[in-house]
Amino acid sequence: MKLPKPYSPLPTFILVAGLVASPIAIAAEVSLVVPADTTIPAGPEGVAIRLGRQLMNDTRKLLPRNVGNGLNCSSCHIAGGTQAYASPYVGLTALFPMYNARDGRVISLQTRINDCFERSMNGHPLAWDSKEMNAMLIYIRWLSTGVPVGSQVVGRGMGQVDASLKPDRARGATIYAAKCASCHGPQGAGTPDGSGGFVFPPVWGKQSYNTGAGMARTETAAAFIKGKMPMGQPDSLSDQDALDVADFVANQPRPVFAGSKAASPAKGR
């Protein structure tokens, strides 16, 4: 499930100033701080927070009716949405409702979560008042403890790569084979875990995210790859390397998004 940074995709948001008479005031950036588990309250709220974290990390198994591929939310939102530049959830409660450039309207956090289910998970939305939706919301709220409304958390989104570079898809295929295939498979099908899930998620094919997902955009995927891949070797690829391999992966076959606006990966941006 992929949630935000100013639009680049798996997450894709920008705050709008044009809807009001004067620009929206944005508070100063704040550090990304993950609350300690000891701060999880006792009682029903604590139970819901823990369920929300579990749903983020084991989405496919716990929500089989909503997930249509081999991914979990944490496939993109690493470590339950707590890592900088891997679309962390920390601070999101302070930003929504938010203008979403892809949809061209102001959306709620519930809508953004369901957007990920329909695009990144190639599945179906949760009911707004479901136990699972509320558990995800309260987990994100707990992660956002102490973040002032409207402020930007350092490390939000996916980061970025040099936008002036041009991707070389053929070179990307070579880099993928050398750096990515050992985990994600030579055909992008991922590494199965033996129980119907995946140790490493599929990056193309029927079990991967669809064409409407943020990761289907070359530039967004490149930022994620640059900062987080290969696993255990962050920032080991150059911007050009990341852009090339992202463009190669983005242009492989995958499910087609049924909605009106796909990510148009073939355009490379």
Backbone φ and ψ for 153, nearest 5 degrees, come out as -85, 130
* pLDDT of amino acid 20: 30
* pLDDT of amino acid 102: 83
Alpha-carbon distance of 12 to 9, in angstroms, equals: 5
What number of other Cβ atoms are within 10 A of residue 230's Cβ?
Answer: 15
Residue type, 114: N
Quick one: DSSP state of residue 199? E
* pLDDT of amino acid 191: 97
In CATH, the number for domain 1-158 is 1.10.760.10
Q: Which residues have a Cβ under 8 Å from the Cβ of 166 and sit 6 or more positions away?
A: 243
Q: Which residues of the chain does CATH 1.10.760.10 include?
A: 1-158, 169-267
CA dihedral 205, 209, 214, 215 (to 10 degrees): -50
Quick: pLDDT tens for 33-82.
999 999 999 999 999 999 999 999 999 999 999 999 999 999 999 999 99
* CATH class of segment(s) 169-267: mainly alpha
| pTM (two decimals) | 0.85
* pLDDT of amino acid 28: 77
In the chain (269 residues long), the average pLDDT of successive 10-residue segments reads 40 29 57 98 98 98 97 97 97 94 92 97 97 98 95 92 97 98 98 92 98 96 96 94 98 90 45
* pLDDT of amino acid 261: 55
* pLDDT of amino acid 93: 95
Q: In this structure, are residues 262 and 216 in contact, taking their beta carbons and an 8 Å threshold?
A: yes
Alpha-carbon distance of 153 to 32, in angstroms, equals: 6
Q: In this structure, are residues 243 and 167 in contact, taking their beta carbons and an 8 Å threshold?
A: yes
Alpha-carbon distance of 70 to 5, in angstroms, equals: 24
